[in-house]
Chains A and B, each alone.
Chain A
């Protein structure tokens, strides 16, 4: 364990330095993404006003505001670049450099990304959680902060990130089939955006469809952590969804290993 840590810590460090270089760019990028939240807020406000207020599919308007903010936060926390990076390395042959090093390909990558993400995640999560609680207190009229929910949310986000990370690694192998990685990623993001409840809470879907979507790995990405934070899952349900997340994380971890092993044999790197 200690030896492993010693091997992979430099990768975290490299990741941190990488993100520090492009700080200003990152801020503009996040601001751009935040605009989508504002649009979502206004469209939902209009829907609730037109629908005469009250509750829709288990969400009141204040809860919907919280949902939008948490979706944005969760999406940022669990984001993973893997598909693009792996695809790019397969395409340009840089993957060969990883092969000759005595460290696990996926693990180096995981730690590098963690270094990339951790500082920014903390910088954005703390104020946003505070904002969510202020919104809830003002709109709901009482303090609703629940430390258990927060801790379970963090646990759920860790699982969600692992699912997303390994899923993206698996998806990266699509570079063997599709050369246009940017397009392939766009396609993936569009589908996941819907299936993970980012576009609309899954409870708004027709009953049967909701049940199917909840079983798919994508609901385990954004939807489960957000619902947990909002206190919508309790008792056995909570354990079930956390278990499902763990299952999908393990599933994609295994699949990525399998794909890695079989594709190394297929890999041809040109020139050098």
Chain B
């Protein structure tokens, strides 16, 4: 308990530092948010043009597709907001030998890396995601009840950890190879599959994004329950299980990696 309290306090101090830094560069902050907003806008225009041609996408209505799209952006945005520093580990920190800094501090290294930075750009994704979910929900005729809405809110931390877990595992590769930024990138790109209902993909792809690099669990499966009330045990249980397994594996690989870490000589 005392340990948690201390971590919480450290986290707050880091956050405060980050906000000070951001206030220094207000222009950047707007450029970053707008840029991620524009990326999403161009995808939405794509969906809009498509749905002007077809009434539904293999049984999914436009609002359902938008709901899934929006839901996929929320965990992605939260992970991007809090845990963006993992990219720096993969691209720069290990290669330049800057990881030494973390080893000398009296806090857990992974905790330190994760809590050190926040990425305000992510608000572009997050705001768009929340807006899309809120806009599409009233237009979908599902049997809404309190339980489904609560289930959605309850799931968000877990589906966020699926992103963070995948990033932690792939970032750790850098401890052995010096540089793993593009490895993170490749696996992270699988999250693109989460934008659309997984039923449009072939069986093989569906199995990969459900059981191996399980980004379908971040949007499609929770949506199956939230929208259609289908199979709560699998649709909600699997994402939670995947989050725990991936994050657990991430922590394990990270600490094994640190043992292999050798600073850059210069």
Contact = CB atoms under 8 A, between A and B. Distances in A.
B175 to A, nearest CB: 16
Interface in B157-197: 179, 181-183, 185-190, 192-193, 195-196
Given A35-B189, A180-B25, A187-B35, A28 B182 contact: yes
Interface in A24-57: 25-26, 28-29, 31-33, 35-36, 38-39, 42-43, 45-47, 49-51, 56
A191 interface: yes
Contacts of B182: 25-26, 28-29, 32
Interface residues of A, number: 37
Given A31-B186, A33-B189, A39 B49 contact: no
Interface stretch (B1-9, B55-63, B97-105): B55-63
Contacts of B265: none
Contacts of B188: 32
B25 A179 contact: yes
B35 A39 contact: no
Given A186-B36, A187-B34, A46 B57 contact: yes
B185 A194 contact: no
A190 B38 contact: yes
B58 A199 contact: no
Interface in A147-199: 178-180, 182-184, 186-187, 189-191, 193-194, 199
Interface string B188-223: 111011011000111001000000000000000000
B35 A184 contact: yes
Given A26-B182, A50-B55, A200 B35 contact: no
B186 A51 contact: no
A205 interface: yes
Contacts, number: 112
A219 B213 CA distance: 35
B62 to A, nearest CB: 11
Tell me if B's interface is mostly helix, strand, loop or mixed.
helix
A240 interface: no
B28 A35 contact: no
B82 to A, nearest CB: 18
Most buried by A among B179, B190, B200: B200
A56 B181 CA distance: 39
A189 B35 CA distance: 9
A180 B189 contact: no
A28 B45 CA distance: 29
Given A42-B200, A183-B28, A199-B43, A25 B49 contact: no
Contacts of A45: 200
A105 interface: no
29 contacts: A28-B183, A28-B185, A28-B186, A31-B186, A32-B189, A33-B189, A36-B189, A36-B192, A39-B193, A42-B201, A46-B57, A49-B58, A50-B57, A51-B53, A179-B25, A179-B27, A179-B28, A180-B25, A182-B32, A183-B32, A183-B121, A186-B121, A189-B39, A190-B41, A191-B42, A193-B42, A199-B43, A200-B49, A200-B50
Complex A-B, nearest 7 residue pairs according to Cβ-Cβ distance, in ascending order: A180-B28, A186-B35, A28-B182, A190-B38, A32-B186, A187-B35, A183-B31
Interface of B: 25, 27-28, 31-32, 34-36, 38-39, 41-43, 45-46, 49-50, 53-58, 121, 179, 181-183, 185-190, 192-193, 195-196, 200-202, 205
